[in-house]
Structure 1
């Protein structure tokens, strides 16, 4: 089943993976940059098997969301963050009487964090971040730092020049505003102040499960730790999933195949319903 969420000239697609229990917690998944929601189907099936309902939202211009990013696309992080609220609103009927857990991967996880910083917990009961961090160049291993800085700022400059990021080897086709804000966070180690401030991040008090994975060159442990530390007001459970625990060689994307062990960790962590 698929829902459509109208966002001005853009339309977001939300893929539903329900379970029989209408009171089961609902996990709302926001993907990584350039990754279609369909990529998470195997992971959604594992969450369903653990008794959790799932909804996966395609980010703007990705997967079944339309249109594709173009030179006329003017959105950036502020609009991406507002899309999180719009998806939650569109799922109101499916969320009624149930715990809602935001789950983000990479850029999708950043969007979830920024949403909570701007809007507060509202009716969200928990936050799961898998392979999510601020791509601050100084937090990478010493031998990678200058390369990360050069890559992120080059991608930012090219997208500004072309007025769209064509997706050359990284991130898929993206609006220049998304790349601009991503490159800013890589340069300064914080989100643009127009989106949220460190004080707003520190005020988040929703229980959070923050998971890093082996062999993640995009968000190694230090990068994940940086973002987790910014959630100083939240009860954070920090975990790391190894390839041995998963039973396969992990990386920034392959972790979705480790649905069963991740689902077990999520169900063991699940917080109680937050007071309204």
Structure 2
């Protein structure tokens, strides 16, 4: 077996009948902390295998989740099959965490940390406000390239790119079509694949107003509950990551004002994604955070 291959994979049945694979690596020490890795927008879990392997070698249990409809998730967004930020935080994350702990024979309250990329970091902050965060003993969030998509946090070039994404994904996909089909005339113009219209409408508002108010179907007031979160946050970024400037990190962290915040620069010119394929610097920072 290759070093980057998981020990096992748990296939989680989701409420819409789709299946989400959770790739799992078992540490040598049964009492090791579990690290849940959450992908970024449009990214599949397989991309993070070198990171998971390196974390396991550093002494952690590791599980890579999927965002619904991405990677190896079988969910397919349509006008009638929708999900949003709340569904990901309240349904997908808990089901995948439970599957990982069960596969590793860990107790429900076994210590757990998140290592979250980009969109995965946004959802992680929402999850931290939920009662399941205490149930599953979430002890900290380590985000890489994880920030708010709020347009005011970005320079002109990236602001224009995000604005175009908001028009296509949130406007055309979310409001006009009811979902973003991914390819239009055979081409994926924004590079994020097929996406749920509900999620994209919420992302568009996040981009325009830095707002997470009134998420579709929410069973708690996320904005109010995030203010109560007190677990440590560590947000890192590569110096050349134009998709997550420091102001974007600050805008996301502002939702959790009572959570101790550490900001780090990831050594090397690893951009927004490449650190997951060349994970040594991130694993070193994570291990000592």
TM-score (norm 2): 0.85
Deviation of 1:205 after TM superposition, in Å, equals 0.7
Aligned residues: 264
- Call closer, same or farther: CA 1:145–1:64 in 2, change over 3 Å: closer
Q: Deviations over 1:115-173 (max 9, x none)?
A: 11233640111111111111000111245435533432332111032222122223221
Secondary structure, aligned partner of 2:130: helix
* Equivalent position to 2:278, from 238, 249, 258: 258
> What is the CA-CA distance between 1:26 and the residue it aligns to?
0.9
Partner of 1:76: 84
Indicate whether 1:165 and 2:180 are aligned.
yes
Residue number in structure 2 paired with 1:274: none
1:75 Cα offset (Å): 1.1
Of 198, 217, 232, 1:207 maps to 232
Cα displacement string for residues 195-228 of structure 1 (whole angstroms, at most 9, x for unaligned residues): 5443322211111211122222222221112112
Q: Which of 29, 32, 55 is the matching residue for 1:21?
A: 29
Which residues of 2 match residues 236-275 of structure 1 at below 5 A? 236-243=261-268, 249-269=269-289
Structure 2: runs of 5+ lacking an equivalent: 1-7, 183-187
Q: Distance in 1 between matches of 2:157 and 2:286?
A: 34
Match of 1:140 in 2: 154
Cα deviation 1:68-107 (Å, max 9, x = unaligned): 3233321111111121122222233333274201121111
Tell me which residue corresponds to 1:177. Answer: 198
Q: How do 1:77-96 and structure 2 match up within 5 A?
A: 77-82=85-90, 83-93=92-102, 94=104, 95-96=106-107
Root-mean-square deviation (Å): 1.9
Cα shift at 1:111: 1.0
